Chains A and B, each alone.
Chain A
Amino acid sequence: MSLTLLNVIFAVVVAIAFAAANAAYLVWAERRGAARIQRRPGPNINGPFGLLQPPLDGIKLMAKQLIIPGGADKVLFIAAPVLAMYPAIMSFVTIPFSDTIVAHNINVGILMIFAFASTGSMSLIFAGWSSRNKYSMMSAVRAVSQSVAYEIPMLITTITVVMIAGSMDLMEIVHQQSRSILHWNIFPLLGNSHNILMPASFLIFFICTLAETNRAPFDLGEAESELVAGFHTEYGSMGFGLFFMGEYANIVIGACMTTILFLGGWSCPFGLFPGVWWFLLKLYLLIATFIWIRWTFPRTTIYGLLNLSWKILIPLSLVNLLLTAGLIKVF
């Protein structure tokens, strides 16, 4: 067995472990964060600060029976949760956490991550369709229109960054931003773009990440007060567990991409000690913002969501793309 293959296997195992640990402990962080916001203690019984809660929850979920409703499409019903989890794990393989910590860097990293992310919404459709439940079905239909609407501005924004960097290699994109905080893609001043609309680009990307990961205020797929639990209404046991973990793993991917594309990856704002800690700091600050937003805002409507995308985000991101293209030609 060649050394490269061993390397890849090791990398995949680490990626799975990282994704699973993050998913489990983000649930804990979310519950503690929500509790802080709502002035209540949250999970604090199992272990110090309730840190044993996620593994115990996992054991409980695994011990439960997986009930497949009568009339459900068995194959798709079982395949859907697996499909929810795998794109996130695959994406971790190519994300560079620092100069050295990257499982397998490929020169079209962005393409690969978006390709896998696009398959994520397939799991929601399968789950909604195969459950044979009207609420699940409605949720699946919403998920389709939502993911179509938000992948477009997200990709256009990403293309803007790719044009600035002139590369689809994630390492390369970070390297170009690494000189100082002013070279980050979010800031237009000294940056590589000179485009004053870059902060807007960052906001568009951030909003799209929220929508793509089905987070509040765009959590229309699983709107509890309308569709009971949306596409995972009929799921119990680890089926539900995988959906849950998939959601959080996707959040980590979304935050990683935002960090790499706009916030300079592992580079330090002041040019000191660049390294993986800066990456993790930015990553978890973004995730904390996700949690903060979720527990503050009410949910949007489905037409409000689609209007926002088609009437505001897509035109704005297109304008930004054109402006950037023009500026690159000029400078």
Chain B
Amino acid sequence: MSSPIQLQPDETFVLNVGPQHPATHGVLRVKMEMNGEYIVDAETVIGYIHRMHEKMGENKTYPQYLMNLSRMDYLGALGYSHGHVLVVEKAAGIEVPERAEYIRAIMVELNRVASHLFWFGAFVMDLGGFSPLMYALQDREYILDMLEAVTGSRLTYCYFRFGGLYNDIDDDFIDAARRFIPRMRKSLIKYDKLVTGNIIFRKRLEGNALLSKETCRKYGASSAVARGSGINFDVRKNEPYSVYPDFDFDVPVYHEGDSLARYMVRMEEMEQSLRIIEQGLDKLPDGPIMPKKKPKLIKPPAGDYYQAVETARGSFGVRLVSDGTKTPYRLKLRSPTYSNMHLFDESCRGMMIMDALAFMGSLDLVIPEIDR
């Protein structure tokens, strides 16, 4: 019954990584053509969790579609909702009270820290270290509890409304957020000692998967993938939106282009997010969270609108084509992970499988967000 596998020395075989594989963190499938442990060619196969979010955008009215956005990326959901409400507000000409925008920014940054924390844990787990994931999840749990108290949900928030917010933040939230910032800074030092300084960790990541600026530009990469390769681009700085111009924060950029650079960028982004949260809490103005004048039925005038935001995974764009009816004519979602992931096919050639999977971890893939 059994026939031995006979391979010629130069013969390759196809290794099917996924759609169920511990390293793909979801239902991503990678067809790898292997020569022993070396990857000759790789092809990422997506679409296992395609849910037609863009088509739904054409069929649902604007408010009905609000909750779809947070289903795209389950780790950094608020950033995606932010992009959507901003583009609709721009199209329909809805004024947003300042307090609401500040709260939005605080929430999005908290969500970004939570998302990066999860990525940090999962990335180290990809490399074989388990404990950092548990530490990261404990800090993330604190953020989720805070967000739950205000938004009502822990993962797929439907918190932003056209023109404002569903719920105002209270003193408990502000206290918790203020307590969180020093706690998180302490944790970051701990992660630095435990993981960043570890010799095995550094040896695995230094020089792993070098991405040039050109490759990043070619594929339209953003977030830490581009910033780790020396491209100083952050939508919050380059195409300011919301209240981000009011905040003083830096965009960490590394020029090495290896996995360690991508890791360092994300770790430093957490600190920058904490700075934004701190400033947001200090500057938080009083006032309403919803505008006084708001159209009952949202019917943006016919036209083409675009808004990009910086989510935890990179630059996320929403293009809205309205024909003046109560549903959009077209709603195109430009998801950052989609661009980031396609780097993988080209860049992993010639790598060993364990390096390639470390590289994949450093891209911070969230599969539902690729497939939409």
Query: A132 contacts B126, CB within 8 Å?
Result: no
* Residues of the B chain whose Cβ atoms lie less than 8 Å from the Cβ of A34: 130-131
- The residues in B between 115 and 154 inclusive whose CB is less than 8 angstroms from any CB of A are 124-131, 134-135, 138
Mark each residue of chain B from 200 to 227: 1 if its CB lies under 8 Å from any CB of chain A, else 0.
1101100000000000000000000000
Q: Which of B103-111, B325-333, B348-356 contacts A (4 or more CB under 8 A)?
A: B348-356
State how many angstroms separate the Cβ of A29 from the closest Cβ of chain B: 16
Q: Flag whether A40 is at the interface (Cβ < 8 A).
A: yes
* Residues of the B chain whose Cβ atoms lie less than 8 Å from the Cβ of A211: none
Q: Flag whether B198 is at the interface (Cβ < 8 A).
A: yes
* Residues of the A chain whose Cβ atoms lie less than 8 Å from the Cβ of B36: 141
Query: B22 contacts A295, CB within 8 Å?
Result: no
Checking B22, B129, B204 against A301 with a beta-carbon cut-off of 8 angstroms, the contacting residue is B204
* Residues of the A chain whose Cβ atoms lie less than 8 Å from the Cβ of B204: 298, 300-301, 304
Query: A225 contacts B134, CB within 8 Å?
Result: no
Query: B126 contacts A225, CB within 8 Å?
Result: yes
Checking B15, B194, B357 against A225 with a beta-carbon cut-off of 8 angstroms, the contacting residue is B357
Closest to B21 in A: A228
Cα–Cα distance between A299 and B135 once the two chains are bound (Å): 18
The answer to whether residues A300 and B2 also contact, given A38-B130, A219-B128 and a CB cut-off of 8 A, is: no
Query: A302 contacts B354, CB within 8 Å?
Result: yes
Cα–Cα distance between A302 and B354 once the two chains are bound (Å): 8
* Residues of the B chain whose Cβ atoms lie less than 8 Å from the Cβ of A224: 22, 128
* Residues of the A chain whose Cβ atoms lie less than 8 Å from the Cβ of B134: 38-40
Query: A39 contacts B21, CB within 8 Å?
Result: no
Q: Flag whether A223 is at the interface (Cβ < 8 A).
A: yes
* Residues of the B chain whose Cβ atoms lie less than 8 Å from the Cβ of A38: 130-131, 134-135
Mark each residue of chain A from 133 to 148: 1 if its CB lies under 8 Å from any CB of chain B, else 0.
0110110010000000
Number of A-B residue pairs, CB cutoff 8 Å, is 87
Mark each residue of chain A from 288 to 331: 1 if its CB lies under 8 Å from any CB of chain B, else 0.
00000001111111111000000000000000000000000000
Q: Flag whether B52 is at the interface (Cβ < 8 A).
A: no
Query: B138 contacts A137, CB within 8 Å?
Result: no
Q: Flag whether A169 is at the interface (Cβ < 8 A).
A: no
Query: B131 contacts A295, CB within 8 Å?
Result: yes
Query: A132 contacts B23, CB within 8 Å?
Result: no
* Residues of the B chain whose Cβ atoms lie less than 8 Å from the Cβ of A246: none
Q: For chain A, what secondary structure do more than half of its interface residues adopt (helix, strand, loop), or is it mixed? A: loop
Closest to A217 in B: B200
Closest to A70 in B: B1
- The residues in B between 328 and 370 inclusive whose CB is less than 8 angstroms from any CB of A are 352-355, 357
State how many angstroms separate the Cβ of A149 from the closest Cβ of chain B: 15
Cα–Cα distance between A257 and B127 once the two chains are bound (Å): 30
Query: B198 contacts A298, CB within 8 Å?
Result: yes
Cα–Cα distance between A219 and B129 once the two chains are bound (Å): 11
The answer to whether residues A225 and B127 also contact, given A137-B5, A298-B200 and a CB cut-off of 8 A, is: yes
Q: Flag whether A48 is at the interface (Cβ < 8 A).
A: no
Cα–Cα distance between A137 and B6 once the two chains are bound (Å): 12
Mark each residue of chain B from 259 to 302: 1 if its CB lies under 8 Å from any CB of chain A, else 0.
00000000000000000000000000000000000000000000
* Residues of the B chain whose Cβ atoms lie less than 8 Å from the Cβ of A225: 22-23, 125-128, 357
Query: B352 contacts A301, CB within 8 Å?
Result: yes
Q: Flag whether A271 is at the interface (Cβ < 8 A).
A: no
Q: Flag whether B48 is at the interface (Cβ < 8 A).
A: no
- The residues in B between 2 and 17 inclusive whose CB is less than 8 angstroms from any CB of A are 2-3, 5, 13, 15
* Residues of the A chain whose Cβ atoms lie less than 8 Å from the Cβ of B195: 298
- The residues in B between 161 and 215 inclusive whose CB is less than 8 angstroms from any CB of A are 194-195, 198, 200-201, 203-204
Q: Flag whether A17 is at the interface (Cβ < 8 A).
A: no
Cα–Cα distance between A37 and B1 once the two chains are bound (Å): 47
Cα–Cα distance between A71 and B128 once the two chains are bound (Å): 31
Cα–Cα distance between A135 and B37 once the two chains are bound (Å): 10
* Residues of the A chain whose Cβ atoms lie less than 8 Å from the Cβ of B354: 220, 223, 226, 299, 301-302
Which one of A70, A225, A300, A304 has the highest number of Cβ atoms from chain B below 10 Å of its Cβ?
A225
Name 7 A/B residue pairs within 8 A (Cβ), A-sorted.
A70-B1, A71-B1, A216-B128, A219-B128, A225-B22, A228-B22, A303-B352
Closest 3 interchain pairs by CB?
A299-B128, A298-B129, A38-B134
Interface residues of B (CB under 8 A from A): 1-3, 5, 13, 15, 21-23, 36-37, 124-131, 134-135, 138, 194-195, 198, 200-201, 203-204, 352-355, 357
- Supply 13 further A-B pairs (C-beta < 8 A) apart from A34-B130, A132-B2: A134-B13, A138-B353, A220-B354, A224-B22, A225-B23, A296-B131, A298-B129, A298-B201, A299-B127, A299-B354, A301-B354, A303-B352, A304-B203
Interface residues of A (CB under 8 A from B): 34, 37-40, 70-73, 132, 134-135, 137-138, 141, 216-217, 219-220, 223-226, 228, 295-304
